[in-house]
């Protein structure tokens, strides 16, 4: 007996539905990547009381480091914390066998910061957001060169 299926746009998607979709894709990907799964890497900046004031979220996956988010409180920008966070994540990725890194940034975020760290633009998507641009960048990782 055939089951009736329907498609729908979820007005308020649940965390469990999002999780199921992501895990379904990861399971499919495993069948094409010799069972590889992302190893998440997080580096943080905390104040004297242990409050989170910045950090980076990334994953080591199929020999690549993929940086998902880098954030610092506004008053901490330009003081070397971002570079320190990236160095920590890149060195951890190298230890996990990553040879390259990938990330995306908007033109109003940190393009010059990443370029100074050796990342090169390989794609520019204009008008995303409207009037701006989104960039995709890569970098070859080498032990001892993440600083």
pTM for the full predicted model: 0.84
Cα–Cα distances in Å, from 114 out to 7, 22, 25, 137?
40, 28, 29, 8
Which two structure tokens, joined as six digits, stand for 73?
């409180």
Rounded-to-integer distance, Cα 57 and Cα 52, Å: 13
Instruction: Looking at the structure, give the CATH architecture of the domain made up of residues 38-140.
Output: 3-Layer(aba) Sandwich (3.40)
Question: Model confidence at 1, in pLDDT bands (50, 70, 90)?
Answer: low
In sequence order, what are the residues at sequence separation of 6 or more whose Cβ sits closer than 8 angstroms to the Cβ of residue 143? 91, 94
Question: For the chain, what are the domain ranges?
Answer: 38-140
Cα–Cα dist 63/83, whole Å: 22
pLDDT tens digits for range 9-32: 899 999 999 999 989 998 998 889
Inform me whether the pLDDT recorded for 2 exceeds 80. no
Burial 7-27 (b: 16+ CB within 10 A, else e): eeeeeeeeeeeeeeeeeeeee
């Amino acid at each position: 007996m055939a089951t009736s299926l329907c498609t729908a746009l979820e007005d308020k998607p649940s965390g469990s539905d999002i999780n199921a979709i992501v895990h379904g894709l990861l399971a499919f990907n495993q069948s094409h990547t010799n069972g590889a799964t992302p190893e998440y890497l997080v580096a943080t900046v905390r104040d004297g009381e242990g409050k989170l004031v910045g950090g980076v979220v990334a994953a080591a996956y199929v020999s690549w480091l993929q940086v998902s988010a880098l954030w610092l409180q506004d008053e901490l920008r330009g003081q070397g914390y971002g570079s320190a966070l990236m160095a920590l994540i890149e060195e951890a990725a190298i230890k996990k066998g990553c040879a390259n890194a990938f990330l995306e940034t908007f033109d109003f975020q940190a393009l010059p910061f990443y370029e100074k760290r050796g990342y090169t633009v390989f794609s520019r998507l204009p008008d995303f957001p409207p009037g701006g641009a989104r960039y995709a960048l890569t970098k070859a990782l080498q032990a001892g060169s993440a600083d």
